[in-house]
Amino acid sequence: KTPGFIFDLDGVIVDTAKYHYLAWKKLADELGIEFTKEDNERFKGVSRKRCLEILLEMGGIEASKEQFNAWLLEKNEDYLAYIETMDETEILPDVPKVLQYLRTNNIPMALGSASKNARPILEKVNLLSYFDTVVDGNEVSKAKPNPEVFLKASEKLGTKPEHCVVFEDALAGIEAANSAGMTSIGIGDAEILSNAKFNFIDFTEIDDDFLNTLLDG
């Protein structure tokens, strides 16, 4: 059996959280809502729509459907302006090393992200070609911790969920991987991602020996 490897995007492959933060902060300032970096933590792995709902709840603001959609659009346009100039230098440390090792071993790979902008970001940082399939926010309706995004990725890879390995930086993402019956690998603070099967600060800690243990099942 060949395992399938599934990667989250933001916080695993690139740090787009800082651009999401700037775009949300700009909107929050306009609406007179206080929004800090700590608040932004709650937005990680969460869909754009749900993020705006949370922001408006924080400010006690009720919006019509039209107004809600206009703010969603505004946030995304600002975000797109921030990521416009992204390039390879924004790839998180040692990610290409791991992707290259897996490719050399003919391991099927998928992206599993809540972002509707996942594909253009992978193109900008020149990593799209590593992925056999991309499952992103345009294809899923149920947000993490619902396992839909990862189950879809395993289906598209043709790999059973129990043979899939998921790299995630968000608690909700680890929960999603676990409830899909997949091997979860937390990237980031092990205390926050305490429900992951394995934990690493980043990909510099992941060596070929560890990957081989995953490949052997």
What contacts 176, CB < 8 A, 6 or more positions away? 144, 145, 146, 147, 148, 149, 150, 166, 168
Query: E strands of the chain, at which residues?
Result: 4-7, 109-112, 133-135, 164-168, 183-187, 198-200
Is the CB of 42 or the CB of 103 nearer to ligand B16? 42
**Residues binding Mg ion (CB under 5 A):** 8, 10-11, 45, 169-170
Applying the rule CB under 6 A, the residues between 68 and 87 that interact with ligand B16 are 76
Is the CB of 179 or the CB of 215 nearer to ligand B16? 179
- Rounded Cα distance between 200 and 188, Å, is 6
Q: State the distance between the two ends of the chain, measured CA to CA, in whole angstroms.
A: 8
Is the CB of 74 or the CB of 215 nearer to ligand B16? 74
Piece in contact with ligand B16 (CB under 6 A), picked from 54-62, 113-121, 126-134, 205-213: 113-121
List 5, 56, 117, 122, residue binding ligand B16 (CB under 6 A):
117
Check residue 45 for interaction with ligand B16 (CB under 6 A): yes
**Catalytic sites, residue numbers:** 8, 10
Size of the site for ligand B16 (CB under 6 A): 20
Are 157 and 126 spatial neighbours (Cβ–Cβ below 8 Å)? no
Are 31 and 57 spatial neighbours (Cβ–Cβ below 8 Å)? no
Indicate if the alpha-carbon torsion angle 49, 54, 57, 61 is positive or negative: negative
Binding-site members are 8-10, 24, 75, 113-117, 144, 168-169
Binding-site members for Mg(2+) are 8, 10, 168-169
User: Which residue ranges make up the site for ligand B16 (CB under 6 A)?
Assistant: 8-11, 20, 43-48, 51, 76, 113-117, 137, 170
